[in-house]
Amino acid sequence: MKWQALRGFRDFYPEEMALRRYIEGVWHDTARRAGFQEMDGPPLEPLELYKVKSGDAIVAELYAFCDKGGRDVALRPEMTPTLARMAGEKAAALPRPIKWYAVPQLFRYERQQRGRLREHIQWNVDIMGAREPAADAEIVWVAVEALRRLGLTEQDFVVRVNHRALVERKLSDLGFDGDDVPTLLVAIDKHKLDDKDIAEGDLTFLAHKKDEIAQLRGWLDEPGAPEGELEEFFAACEDLGCVSFAQLDRRIVRGLAYYSGIVFEIWDRKGKLRAIAGGGRYDHLIQKLGGPDLPALGFGMGDVVLSELLKDRGLLPDTPPRLDAYVVPIGDEAVGPARRLVRSLRDAGLKTEAPYRPMKVGKALKTADAAGARRAFLLGKEEIEQGKVKVKDLATGDETLQDLESAV
């Protein structure tokens, strides 16, 4: 029997792990630079937590099961419900605004498609306790800044911004109410508002409102100038230096049920990939989960689409040498001194490795090179007698003789 990872799950060999850590490193640095603190929660939560407020799409994709104690549980498909639950529990004791970030692994039983896996790492950056659109702008700045630090530019990605209340008002003006509204929001999100969708898709029950849907389409395609909170948001983006990445787009409504105000998604400009990130305001979620009335907003950015984009644009980082020093004992008598040299180089903070048995010089240099070392420390009978070690720079080929006691 040959074993393989489950469909939609990834093996992270060192090369893939290095890319993951590189991206995560930029995420951590950028969030901290804007004053966010890292947090985490359990990977397994009560199933109800997601049933209460995640959108139907996510609930359908849950990895859910009944545990040995008879409790219905689910692997986390997103971080927001956990974060809202945790913030709600401690809200009274926490200074406002609460600014948290997390880098959890999430699980969704998705249909196999490009950019969508059944497990992904998602950077979450959230603010709780701020009603001002300046907070929404700060959130967008954080997302943009991370992408900029990864080498992406305005030519590579765009932040599409909208206000959910604007769309809801328009739907009401056009005479839609009750269940029509969530259905239409999903249809807008999925770009499924055409006559075909009314004739044979999810919107057949709205066939008698074909004209209103046509008017809605016209309005969606006509972005106009930002007003109200969106105007304040764009002004704050201007000050923060990320406005050139942002664009008003009335079709962005976000699929998840809990969003309330400004919402946004980040897309690759070529439109070849799925969304790189998505988020917005969810001012009522914390209260709906039993916490206080605490406005909140944030976004999630996944590693899958982002890695594809970086590969596509040739922005993968150079891998730095794995080792600073490769210490080679030449002959049996050098094994002990070589091990002691390894110890002192590691104490000095150098990434150091040595073979477990003596080697010939030629083979040793090849091995050191293949191991990705910057320098080889060659230790033979002659060097030991002189209290020295020969140090060879593997890039330039330069050789020096250093004192064995103080070599670095």
352 interacts with ligand HAM by CB under 6 A: no
- Selected binder of ligand HAM within 23, 74, 80, 243 (CB under 6 A): 80
CA distance 96 to 136: 15
261 interacts with ligand HAM by CB under 6 A: no
309 interacts with ligand HAM by CB under 6 A: no
- Selected binder of ligand HAM within 104, 295, 302, 329 (CB under 6 A): 302
Residue 49 burial (C-beta neighbours within 10 Å; 0-12, 13-18, 19+) = middle
- Selected binder of ligand HAM within 122, 162, 260, 307 (CB under 6 A): 122
Between 30 and 80, name the residue whose CB sits nearer to ligand HAM: 80
- Selected binder of ligand HAM within 78, 136, 268, 383 (CB under 6 A): 78
The Cα-based distances of 15 to 11, 130, 250 in angstroms read: 11, 40, 40
Q: CB atoms < 10 A from the CB of 144, how many?
A: 25
Between 295 and 380, name the residue whose CB sits nearer to ligand HAM: 295
Q: What angle do CA 168, 171, 177 make, to 5 degrees?
A: 95
383 interacts with ligand HAM by CB under 6 A: no
**Could you tell me the end-to-end alpha-carbon distance of the chain, in angstroms, rounded to an integer?**
49
Between 263 and 328, name the residue whose CB sits nearer to ligand HAM: 263
Between 120 and 375, name the residue whose CB sits nearer to ligand HAM: 120
Q: What is the token pair recorded at 231? A: 């105007």
Q: Write down the H helix ranges in 195-352.
A: 195-200, 210-220, 228-240, 285-288, 303-312, 335-347
- Selected binder of ligand HAM within 50, 110, 140, 345 (CB under 6 A): 110
- Selected binder of ligand HAM within 127, 147, 216, 277 (CB under 6 A): 277
Looking up tokens 């070690």 gives 389
23 interacts with ligand HAM by CB under 6 A: no
Query: Which range in 44-52, 94-102, 298-306, 390-398 contacts ligand HAM by CB under 6 A?
Result: 298-306
Shortest distance in whole angstroms from residue 277 CB to ligand HAM: 5
Shortest distance in whole angstroms from residue 57 CB to ligand HAM: 8
Q: What angle do CA 98, 101, 106 make, to 5 degrees?
A: 130
143 interacts with ligand HAM by CB under 6 A: no
The Cα-based distances of 27 to 82, 117, 118 in angstroms read: 20, 20, 22
Q: Which residues bind ligand HAM (CB under 6 A)?
A: 78-80, 108, 110, 116-117, 120, 122, 124, 126, 275-279, 298-302, 304-305
